[in-house]
Amino acid sequence: MTIQITNAISAAVNRLLYPLVRILLRQGMPYGAFSDLAKRVYVDVAQREFAIPGRKQSISRVSIMTGLTRKEVRRLQDLPTADDAVAIAQYNRAARVIAGWRRDPAFSDASGNPLELLLEGEGASFATLVKRFSGDVPARAVRDELLRVGAAEITEAGAIRLQVRAYVPSGSEVEKVSILGTDVADLLITITHNIADNASEPFFQRKVAYDNLPVDAVAELKPLVNQKAQELLEEFDRWLAARDRDVNPKVTGSGRQRAGVGIYYFETDLSQEEQT
């Protein structure tokens, strides 16, 4: 590795660690806990992805690659793996139900607006919606989650009415932090693919940003991004749903792939940074 590449990687890691460490400190995670997690990931990646073809990866080779002692490698391999599967599953269930409610004509009116749904019953009921887009999860559990975050409400007639265009966790720190793991990981997977030497077909990765905008312009930009980005994501959602075998069991094809598109908004107060 050349000095230029080493310096570039060090600078990039330094930039991405700042917002991450800010979150860790706010959540009360000390350096020692983060250090163990980082070392565990080093060991896992060396073990799984950098073995010599046709040979089992040895503790000695993992030790050499990571710079950790063999004793430390063994200790880290015995640590329990952190798991946020429950929070991620809850997020995915609610998001899929809301997307299906907005997308599936069986649950929309002639203008494409989501119907107010009875909780139970044949045809277009909330229970049918949940079964179609969230499997065997109890409809009551999904209903309670949508009500909790303000994504839906119960009408005077006892039906459930959708209030939002997309699911955003509200109040649940566990879900919000879990999204940090999945969304940032997806972006890093894209970047990793694109900087690889053999990336003959790079993944789409673009952004637009300006660094001398007045506050008024930023205030106008945020609702514009919300509207345009949501419209685009809903278009992609319809395309993907038509080809997803969970939603459409009749879809054929080999293999099982995970693919999607993420859009995010960012802003930084440079005047504050310049004063520090």
Can you say how many angstroms the Cα of residue 109 is from the centroid of all Cα atoms in its chain? Answer: 30
159 within 8 A of 117, measured Cβ to Cβ: yes
Contacts of 240-247 spanning 24+ positions with Cβ under 8 A: 241/99, 241/100, 241/103, 246/135, 247/100, 247/132, 247/133
Left if phi > 0, otherwise alpha if psi is -120 to 50, otherwise beta: which for 79?
beta
Which DSSP category does 81 fall into? P
Q: How confident is the model at residue 174 (pLDDT cuts 50, 70, 90)?
A: low
126 within 8 A of 119, measured Cβ to Cβ: yes
Q: How confident is the model at residue 256 (pLDDT cuts 50, 70, 90)?
A: very high
| Of 246 and 69, more confident | 69
Residue range 207-239, pLDDT digits in tens: 999 999 999 999 999 999 999 999 999 899 989
Residue type for position 126: F
Residue type for position 189: I
pLDDT at residue 274, as a whole number: 56
Q: How confident is the model at residue 31 (pLDDT cuts 50, 70, 90)?
A: very high
The torsion angles phi and psi of 149, rounded to 5 degrees, stand at -90, 0
pLDDT at residue 71, as a whole number: 93
